[in-house]
Amino acid sequence: MIVTQKSLSRRTVLRGLGATVALPLLDAMVPALSAAARSVTAPVPRLAFFYVPNGMLPHNFHPQGNGGSDFDLTPVLGPLASYRDRMTVVTGLSNSGVVSPNEGGGVHTRAHGGWLNGILPKRTEGADIRAGKTIDQYAADKLGADTALRSLELTTESNYQVGNCENGYSCAYRNSTSWLTPTTPLPHERDPRVVFQRLFGDGGSVEARLAQMKTDRSILDSVTDSIHRLERKVGVHDRATVDEYLQSIRAIERRIQHTEETNTTTPLPAVDQPAGVPDDYEEHVGLLQDMLVLAFQADITRVSCMQMARETSGRTYPNIGVPEAHHTVSHHQQDPHNIAQYTKISQYQMGLFAKLVEKMRNTPDGDGTLLDQAILLHGAGMGDGDQHTPYNLPITLMGGGCGQLSGNRHLVYDMHTPFMNLGLTLLEKVGVKVDSISDSTGPLTGV
C-alpha cells in the first residue's frame, strides 16, 4: 500500500446529475502512519445469504465421515473445489422451529418463510402476516448503520404473487426471505435495472431514474468531471483501481442495455417480464451477483440476501439436460432418474454461486480480497425435498470473515442441533451480539 500524507474520506463519492458513484477502498483514503490509518484499513465484514428451493439430496450434498479437513467433496459441492480453502460444510443442523404437527400442508412456505428466523409463520392469506426478524436484519442493524443501503435483497423471480400460495399461507412468506420485523417482509428486487439504480441513482423517483437510464448515455458520463478531479488527487495505483472499478460498472450497464434492447426487438413469452430482466436464468443470476460484488466493493452495503429461486420453483433447466420442473424432480421417491436430475440442478446452482465466490476472491479489498472479509451462506430451507422436512439442512459457508472463519472444514453436529445456533455464531463473527433467535440454545462451538 502506498503511504501518503493526505487522505480521502472512505465515503468519497463521484457525483453527477442524478448519479452518485461510491468508490472502493483506495490508498489515498489511508492517512500516513497514523491511528486513523489503522482504523480505516481495518477489514470491514460483509455477510450474505443465498437461498435455493426444494432442498437437496442429503447424501449427494453432505460429505461422509465425522468431520475435519480430510473429506471428499460430494457431487453437489464439486463446483466449489477450487475454493476449498475458503469452504466450510456444516452437517446436522435443523430448523425445527418451523415444524408444527398441527399445521398440515404448507411445508414449503414454512421452510422458506422461517429459514432465517426459525419462526413458524402465521397461517393467513390476508395482511395479518407474522413470522420473525431474520438473521441478516440483525446484522444490518449494526453493519448497515454507516452504509448507503442498510441491506440489499435480490431474487430471480417476481414478487407479484398475492393471496394464498399454499394451503392458506400468504404468498408473502415465499416472496421474501428477509424480514425486518415479525410483520415486515422486505421486498426482493428481480430487475437488474432497478438494482443498478438503487446502487448508483441519486434523488428523484424510481420511475424518473429509470427513464433517465433508458437513454444510451452511461451513468458514468454524468460523473466525468468528478472522475477527472479525483484522478488529480490520487496516485497511479489508485487511478488503476478506480478505472477497473468503473469499467465493471460500465460493463454491467452494457449488459442491462443489451437485455432491454433484446426484450424490445425479440418476441417475449406470454408472461410479461419487467424491462432489464434477462430471459436466460444464468445471465440473470450473473448480473445480480455482479452488482452485489460492486455494492460490497464500494461499501454501499455490507449485508445481502438473495433468492436463487423461490420455494416450490417449477423452473426447468434444459440447458443442463433437465427439462423437468425442479419441484417435480425434488419429489424423487428414490427413483434414480429423478435423483440424477435433482442433483444436476443442485450442482448447477452451486456452480453459479461458485462464480460469485471466484469474483469476490479476485476483487481486492484493502490488504486482502472481498472473499477474505466476507461470510457467504448458501443453503436451503429443507433437507431432502422428498421428505419436506427442515432437518439436516444443506449449509455451505464461504469466505474468511475478516479472519473469523477458517476453510477446508467439514463440521458435524448432533442431529437436530438448532440452525439458529449458527445464526448467532455468524452474527458474533461480524461483531453483532444477539442473545437468542427462536429455538437457539447458544452459538455453535468450532465454527
Query: Are 425 and 443 contacting, i.e. CB atoms less than 8 angstroms apart?
Result: yes
Domain locations in the chain? 1-42+194-276, 46-190+303-447
What pLDDT is stored for residue 267 in this prediction? 45
Residue 339 backbone zone (phi > 0: left; psi -120 to 50: alpha; other: beta): alpha
Q: What is the pLDDT of residues 253-279, one digit of tens each?
A: 766 766 666 555 544 333 333 345 888
What is this structure's pTM?
0.82
What pLDDT is stored for residue 53 in this prediction? 97
| 104: confidence class by pLDDT, cuts 50, 70, 90 | confident
What pLDDT is stored for residue 281 in this prediction? 95
| 1: confidence class by pLDDT, cuts 50, 70, 90 | very low
What pLDDT is stored for residue 367 in this prediction? 86
Indicate whether 14 pLDDT > 70: no
Per the prediction, the chain carries an average pLDDT of 85
175 or 235, which is more confident? Answer: 175
Indicate whether 433 pLDDT > 80: yes
Q: Bridge-partner residues for 397, per DSSP?
A: 88, 377
Q: How far apart are CA 296 and CA 291, in angstroms?
A: 9
Q: How far apart are CA 214 and CA 216, in angstroms?
A: 7
What pLDDT is stored for residue 75 in this prediction? 98
Rg (CA), the chain: 22
Average pLDDT over residues 311-335: 96
Q: How far apart are CA 108 and CA 98, in angstroms?
A: 10
What pLDDT is stored for residue 373 in this prediction? 97
Q: What is the pLDDT of residues 369-427, one digit of tens each?
A: 999 999 999 999 999 999 999 999 999 999 999 999 999 999 999 999 999 999 999 99
Q: What is the pLDDT of residues 161-185, one digit of tens each?
A: 666 789 899 999 999 999 999 999 9
CA distances, 215 to each of 208, 210, 219, 260, 290 (Å):
12, 9, 10, 11, 22
Residue 239's contacts (CB-CB under 8 Å, 6 or more residues apart) are 231
Average pLDDT over residues 323-327: 97
Average pLDDT over residues 228-249: 72
Average pLDDT over residues 209-227: 58
Residue 426's contacts (CB-CB under 8 Å, 6 or more residues apart) are 47, 135, 139, 375, 377, 447
Lowest mean pLDDT among 51-60, 224-233, 330-339: 224-233
Q: Bridge-partner residues for 441, per DSSP?
A: none
Q: Which CATH number is associated with domain 46-190+303-447?
A: 3.40.720
Nearest Cα residue to 395 out of 95, 72, 81: 95
Q: How far apart are CA 242 and CA 21, in angstroms?
A: 11
Query: Are 347 and 75 contacting, i.e. CB atoms less than 8 angstroms apart?
Result: yes
Q: What is the pLDDT of residues 33-82, one digit of tens each?
A: 444 444 446 789 999 999 999 999 999 999 999 999 999 999 999 999 99
Q: How far apart are CA 81 and CA 48, in angstroms?
A: 20
